[in-house]
Chain A
Amino acid sequence: MKPDTLDLNTLCHQSPEALAKFFGVKEDNPLLKKLTSLGLPTKKSEAYRYFDAESLLEKEYKTLAYVPKEAEEADKLEIVNGVVTTAPKDLRVYYGVYDEVNKEHYDPLYFLGHLLRPNVIIIEIDGDREIELLHRYTQRDTLIQYRIVIKNQANRHATIYESFDSEGTQGSLVLYGYDITVARDSTLRVIRNQTINDDAYHLIASHYIKAEKQASIILKTFDFGNRSALQLLKVDLGERAHIDAGHLLYLSGKARRGSISQIVHQGEHSSSFQEAKNILEGDARGIFDALIRVEHSAKHTKAQQNSKSILLNAGTYMVAKPQLEIYIDELEASHGATTGQLDEKQLFYLQSRGISRQEAEKMLVIAFANTLIEKVKDVRHQEKVLESFEKAFYAKKDRG
Chain B
Amino acid sequence: MILDIKDLHVKIGNKEILKGLNLTLEEGKVHAIMGPNGAGKSTLSKAIVGHYDVEVTQGDILYKGKSIIEMEPEERALEGIFLSFQHPVEIPGVNNAYFLRTALNAKRKHEGKEELNAAEFLRAMKEHLEALGMKSDMISRSLNEGFSGGEKKRNEILQMLILEPEVIILDEIDSGLDIDALRAVSEGINRMKDGKRSFLVITHYSRILDYIEPDYIHVLKDGRIVKTAGVELVEILEKDGYDGIEEDAGS
Is A353 on the interface with B (CB-CB < 8 A)? yes
Contacts of B74 in A (CB 8 A): 351-357, 360
Is B230 on the interface with A (CB-CB < 8 A)? no
Bound complex: CA A370 to CA B95 (Å): 10
Shortest beta-carbon distance from B109 to chain A in Å: 9
Q: Please tell me if the beta carbons of B91 and A355 are within 8 angstroms of each other in the complex.
A: no
Is B99 on the interface with A (CB-CB < 8 A)? yes
Mask, B98-127, CB within 8 Å of A = 1, is 010011001100100000000000000000
Mask, A302-346, CB within 8 Å of B = 1, is 000000000000000000000000000000000000000001111
Bound complex: CA A345 to CA B51 (Å): 9
Bound complex: CA A369 to CA B142 (Å): 13
Q: Please tell me if the beta carbons of A354 and B93 are within 8 angstroms of each other in the complex.
A: no
The 8 Å CB contact of A367, one of B82, B83, B94, is B94
Contacts of B107 in A (CB 8 A): 354
Contacts of B91 in A (CB 8 A): 346, 349-350, 364, 367
- Name the prevailing secondary structure of the A interface residues: helix
Is B85 on the interface with A (CB-CB < 8 A)? yes
How many chain-B residues does the 8 Å CB contact rule pick out? 26
Contacts of B110 in A (CB 8 A): 354
Q: Please tell me if the beta carbons of A366 and B77 are within 8 angstroms of each other in the complex.
A: no
Contacts of B83 in A (CB 8 A): 352
Bound complex: CA A355 to CA B163 (Å): 12
Contacts of A346 in B (CB 8 A): 89, 91
Contacts of A345 in B (CB 8 A): 89
Contacts of B102 in A (CB 8 A): 355, 359, 363
Q: Please tell me if the beta carbons of A367 and B92 are within 8 angstroms of each other in the complex.
A: yes
The 8 Å CB contact of B77, one of A344, A352, A359, A367, is A352
Is A394 on the interface with B (CB-CB < 8 A)? no
Is B72 on the interface with A (CB-CB < 8 A)? yes
Shortest beta-carbon distance from A386 to chain B in Å: 11
Is B61 on the interface with A (CB-CB < 8 A)? no
A364/B94 contact (C-beta < 8 A), A351-B77, A354-B78, A354-B163 known:
yes
Bound complex: CA A349 to CA B107 (Å): 15
Shortest beta-carbon distance from A389 to chain B in Å: 12
Is A368 on the interface with B (CB-CB < 8 A)? yes
Q: A349-B91, A359-B106, A371-B92 are in contact. List 12 more A-B contacts (CB 8 A).
A: A345-B89, A351-B72, A352-B77, A353-B106, A353-B163, A356-B106, A357-B74, A360-B74, A363-B102, A364-B94, A366-B93, A366-B94
A-B contact pairs, 18 of them (CB 8 A): A344-B52, A346-B91, A348-B52, A350-B91, A351-B77, A352-B49, A352-B83, A353-B74, A354-B103, A355-B103, A355-B106, A359-B106, A364-B91, A364-B94, A367-B93, A367-B142, A368-B93, A371-B92
